[in-house]
Amino acid sequence: MKRNLFTALLMVAFIIALPAYAADAPKDPKKQTSWGLYVDAKEAAEMKQNLGNKMLFVDVRDPVEIMFTGYTDVIDANIPFKLVDRSQWHKKKPVYQLQVNPNFEKDIAAALEARGLGKADPVVLMCRSGGTRGAPATKLLEGKGYKQVYVVTDGFEGGTVKDGEKKNWRLKNGWKNAGLQWSYKLNKDKMYFPDAEKNTVVASADDKKASFMPKAQHATPMPNYMRTIRQNADILKLSAEQKSQLQKWVDQNNKAATDTINRIASLENEIAVSSLYGASKEVLMAKNNELIDLRKKLAVGKTNCRDNARSILTIEQWNKLVELEVRKSQQTSS
């Protein structure tokens, strides 16, 4: 009788000791881990809800990818397994090369320590689709003392639909398709900032101006009238009154024009990255329409700037300005 009771108690203890969260192991060996611990998106959310600060939930995607495909504030931190290297092109795929984050394990350890956790506590890794990066990321943690490393098997965006009008769209399972909390708004405190970015020296005013000019020229082919006028004030023989009137225009309109140019440059980058990461046609067309509207807005502002300058300068001064612009254009193209 006592032996039966003891056996029963052992079985109960064994059951309690089993992982409370367990999805089926992926069939693909490349998506399996040495820990053999797997959860789907819903289980990961439930696990975080129940364990709270007693676990570390990490999104291992590149932060730019997260910015354009979606984010959940349920995670504790974004620590990318791989980062986009915009200086390298993938040898086989039409995308930028992804490089392994050399600080991945160190950053995981630091995130645990910052939360008062250790390597014996649960760590859950989530990538875009499941095991493509989630499982390989665990290999960087092997042999480093970690005891419970889970992988979210369906990832943040889930798998692709194989047939129908929405073929290749990521609408199959995953965090986004499970009705779980997510948005395109990021929490800066949880996003990844490499040490190199944290320690970047603030650029001088001249450096900022030098980096801005190519963006301004790219945003619209119209000349930068005010810049040329100010650089050649002596050649144009501007009066004090003319300088005052021209500066008044700059004070009233320069910030809006600068903001528009910066937004154009930022939006172009968004469109490129969003396209690479599989954004829908609707999203890409919306961004392109915004880009068109911004270029129209900038063109109107530039035209107004030209008309204002012509109203302030004499005919001789304006003709000289045109000569200076033409000469500069020829020098640039030669």
pLDDT tens-digit series, residues 113-135: 999 999 999 999 999 987 788 99
Rounded to whole angstroms, how far apart are CA atoms 287 and 274? 10
- Picking from 147-151, 238-242, 254-258, which range would have the lowest pLDDT averaged per residue? 254-258
**What confidence score (pLDDT) does residue 44 get?**
96
Could you tell me the pTM of the whole model?
Answer: 0.56
In this prediction, residue 269 carries a pLDDT of 78
Average pLDDT over residues 235-244: 92
Q: pLDDT tens-digit profile of 273-324?
A: 777 767 788 888 988 999 999 999 999 999 999 999 999 999 999 999 899 8
pLDDT of residue 11: 42
Average pLDDT of the chain?
A: 83
Minimum mean pLDDT among 36-50, 139-153, 277-291, 294-308: which range?
277-291
Is pLDDT above 50 for 9? no
Lowest mean pLDDT, pick from 114-118, 193-197, 215-219, 312-316: 193-197
Band of residue 40 on the pLDDT scale cut at 50, 70, 90: very high
Q: What is the pLDDT of residues 91-119, one digit of tens each?
A: 888 888 889 999 999 999 999 999 999 99
Has domain 18-198 been given CATH number 3.40.250.10? yes
Written as one string, the DSSP assignment of 255-299 is HHHHHHHHHHHHHHHHHHHHHHTT--HHHHHHHHHHHHHHHHHHH
* 261 vs 47: CA distance, rounded Å: 45
Q: Model confidence at 17, in pLDDT bands (50, 70, 90)?
A: very low
Is the pLDDT reported for residue 226 higher than 50? yes
How would you classify the pairing of strands 122-126 and 77-78? unpaired
Question: Where are the chain's structural domains?
Answer: 18-198, 205-333
The pLDDT of residue 315: 94
Q: What tens digit of pLDDT does each residue of 53-84 get?
A: 999 999 999 999 999 999 999 999 999 999 98
CA–CA distance, 182 with 72 (Å, rounded to integer): 4
Instruction: Centre a 10 Å sphere on the Cβ of residue 185 and count the other Cβ atoms it contains.
Output: 9
Of 17-31, 229-243, 285-299, least confident by mean pLDDT is 17-31
- In this predicted structure, which of 18-32, 143-157, 284-298 has the lowest mean pLDDT? 18-32
In degrees, to the nearest 5, what angle opens at C-alpha 71 toward C-alphas 67 and 76? 115
The percentage of residues in the chain with a pLDDT greater than 90, rounded to a whole number, is 50
Confidence bin at 210 (pLDDT 50/70/90): low
Q: Looking at residue 82, what is its pLDDT?
A: 93
Pick from 328, 90, 312, 310: which is nearest to 228 by CA? 328
Read off the amino acid at residue 303.
T
Rounded Cα gap, residues 38 and 149, in angstroms: 9
pLDDT band at 219 (very low <50, low <70, confident <90, very high): confident
